[in-house]
């Protein structure tokens, strides 16, 4: 997906956000911008501070320090009108199990001044044929679709998705991804997605923010993050004597060119494995575990506004 920065003012703006629980520092100065119409994935291991960060942005948790603006308002001072502009799809929410699907959606619609039409919304999320079914009899994938319908019935400008496909089978995950892409592309909804799934992040996100050790270590498109200098490409080939060779390099194109020049022809079994998003993510997590993590990447790049960036 292509970033859609259609507004100069970010929908979400956070600078130097810290959070302390007693003697435990959870967030150490989080910087983050999310732009209108963008899907941003917040990626990080357990204990990195993802839930705390999202709860601060949603207005459910008071930060220890720092500056936060969500839809132009400090979440700590957000009123009902502000909350009506935000949609939430939580990781595990199982209330209202005895309601029927259409009944529950119509009930939620009454809380908003300009809700979506419940019937049209059921069609949007692919639940029209489940309108009369009891909520607790829905499959996991269909229940997640209903969660999204409830989250967007009030026409939110910003949608929070917390681990939305945990426990999904491959088909349900694919269908959910298509739905989120449709919301961002056709509805113009800004989405903040938290996930452990690297494939999901790479599929859905315009940009990915990597939160490790309570800091945003890097933020960029999946392709940008995969090109970080911390992860080198690997070139594999079969030499003239029949042995398998491999070499790690930051410039695989030059190495391949040199191999062709020396061989004066095709290189047997030539393979170039470029760094992936997973390589970059694991490198950052391991650096943090080893106590070698820093505020910037290995090139020392940080954005002028304080947000970790990649070239």
pLDDT tens digits for range 224-256: 887 765 567 889 999 888 899 998 887 888 888
Structure tokens at 135: 């909520």
Residue 45 has pLDDT above 90, yes or no: no
Taking the CA atoms of the chain, what radius of gyration do you get in angstroms? 23
Average pLDDT over residues 170-198: 86
Residue 204 neighbours by CB under 8 Å, 6+ apart: 1, 39, 41, 177, 180, 181, 191, 193
Cβ neighbours, 10 Å, residue 306: 15
Tell me the C-alpha to C-alpha distance, in Å, between residue 79 and each of 73, 83, 86, 161.
Answer: 9, 6, 11, 21
pLDDT digits (tens, 9 = 90+) for 77-107: 999 999 999 999 876 556 677 899 999 999 9
* Helix, strand counts (H, E) of the chain: 10, 12
Tell me the C-alpha to C-alpha distance, in Å, between residue 215 and each of 14, 18, 117, 146, 303.
Answer: 12, 9, 41, 33, 14
Q: Determine the pLDDT at residue 8.
A: 64
The domain ranges of the chain are: 12-85+156-227+278-289, 233-274
Pairing of strands 233-238, 158-162: unpaired
CA-CA distance, 130 to 38, in Å (whole number)?
30
CA-CA distance, 138 to 89, in Å (whole number)?
17
**In degrees, to the nearest 5, what angle opens at C-alpha 84 toward C-alphas 81 and 86?**
125
Q: Determine the pLDDT at residue 164.
A: 80
CATH number of 12-85+156-227+278-289: 3.40.50.300
Asked whether the beta carbons of 159 and 191 are under 8 A apart, the reply is yes
* Residue whose C-alpha is closest to residue 158's, from 42, 276, 35: 35
Q: Identify the weakest region by mean pLDDT among 59-63, 118-122, 141-145, 148-152.
A: 141-145
Question: Residue ranges of the alpha helices (H) in 153-289?
Answer: 170-186, 198-204, 222-226, 252-263, 277-289
Q: Determine the pLDDT at residue 187.
A: 84
Instruction: Report which of residues 13 and 296 the model is more confident about.
Output: 13
Judged by phi (left if over 0) then psi (alpha if -120 to 50, else beta), residue 82 lies in alpha
What is the DSSP annotation of 24-64? EEEEEEEEEEE-TT-EEEEE--TTSSHHHHHHHHHTSS--S
205: burial class by Cβ within 10 Å (0-12, 13-18, 19+)? buried
Indicate the pTM of the whole model: 0.75
Q: Determine the pLDDT at residue 289.
A: 58
Q: Determine the pLDDT at residue 299.
A: 36
Alpha carbons within 13 angstroms on the beta-carbon side of residue 81 total 2
Structure tokens at 144: 């997640």
Structure tokens at 86: 């935000």
């Amino acid at each position: 997906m292509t970033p859609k920065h259609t507004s100069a003012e970010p929908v979400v703006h956070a600078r130097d956000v810290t959070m302390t629980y007693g003697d435990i520092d959870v967030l150490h100065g989080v910087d983050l911008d999310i732009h209108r119409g963008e899907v941003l994935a917040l990626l990080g291991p357990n204990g990195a501070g993802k839930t705390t960060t999202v709860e601060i942005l949603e207005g459910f948790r008071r930060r220890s320090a720092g500056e936060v603006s969500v839809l132009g308002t400090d979440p700590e001072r957000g009123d009902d009108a502000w909350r009506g502009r935000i949609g939430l799809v939580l990781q595990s929410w199982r209330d209202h199990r005895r309601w029927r699907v259409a009944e529950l959606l119509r009930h939620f619609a009454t809380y908003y001044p300009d809700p979506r039409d419940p019937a049209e919304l059921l069609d949007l999320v692919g639940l029209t044929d489940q309108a009369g079914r009891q909520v607790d009899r829905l499959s996991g994938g269909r229940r997640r679709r209903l969660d999204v319908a409830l989250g967007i019935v009030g026409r939110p400008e910003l949608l929070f998705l917390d681990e939305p496909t945990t426990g999904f089978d491959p088909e349900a995950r694919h269908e959910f991804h298509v739905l989120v892409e449709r919301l961002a592309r056709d509805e113009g909804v800004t989405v903040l997605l938290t996930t452990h799934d690297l494939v999901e992040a790479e599929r859905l996100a315009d940009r990915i923010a990597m939160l490790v050790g309570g800091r945003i270590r890097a933020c960029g498109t999946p392709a940008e993050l995969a090109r970080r200098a911390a992860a080198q490409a690997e070139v594999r080939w079969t030499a003239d004597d029949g042995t398998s060779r491999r070499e790690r390099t930051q410039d695989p194109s030059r190495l391949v060119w040199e191999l062709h020049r020396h061989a004066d022809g095709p290189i047997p079994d030539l393979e170039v494995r470029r760094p992936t998003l997973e390589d970059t993510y694991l490198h950052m997590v391991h650096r943090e575990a080893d106590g070698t993590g820093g505020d910037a990447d290995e090139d020392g790049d940080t954005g002028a506004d304080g947000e970790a960036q990649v070239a």
